[in-house]
Amino acid sequence: MTDTVVQENEKIRKEDAKRKRQLLSIAPFILLCVAVLVAGWMGLGNFFDEDRGVWFAKSGACVTALSIVISQRIQILEGMIFPRSSFVPAHVAQLWQRWAPRLKMLQRINLCLGISSALIWGYGDTLFKAVSTNMA
């Protein structure tokens, strides 16, 4: 009886560690999105002598594309954590309870990132001009 419990706990621990690695694999993409926006704001990589506001707007387009990639990775991860079957072992149900809030948080972060980057893509040059005019 206790061997079964120990084996079940070991299974949960291994699955937990695996899911944590999978969730953390999304973090570099989110950091890359922030870095692209900062680089766009600062005009880094602007080798064509374009207006910095236009360059910032273009960074919004890049981040929107990255947001789509993040969304796909989240969907894949969701399918791995929450299998689509009628029979769900007890350890999978426990994993779902533990990881569902974290996955929802990632989805919300990605939604905010996608909406804000789309707005930057469309209105980034105007936003840049307004902020840089007020700072000068």
pLDDT digits (tens, 9 = 90+) for 95-108: 777 788 888 999 99
Phi then psi dihedrals of residue 89, to 5 deg: -60, 160
Alpha-carbon distance of 3 to 109, in angstroms, equals 41
**Whole-angstrom Cα distance, residue 17 to residue 84?**
21
pTM greater than 0.95 (yes/no): no
At 85 the pLDDT is: 65
Model pLDDT, residue 83:
66
Structural tokens at position 11: 């299974």
Q: Which pLDDT score, from 0 to 100, does residue 95 have?
A: 73
List CB contacts of 62: < 8 A, sequence separation 6 or more: 36, 40
| DSSP 8-class letter at 83 | -
Handedness of CA 131, 128, 123, 117 (dihedral sign): negative
Q: How confident is the model at residue 34 (pLDDT cuts 50, 70, 90)?
A: very high
| Distance in angstroms (rounded) separating the CA atoms of residues 68 and 114 | 8
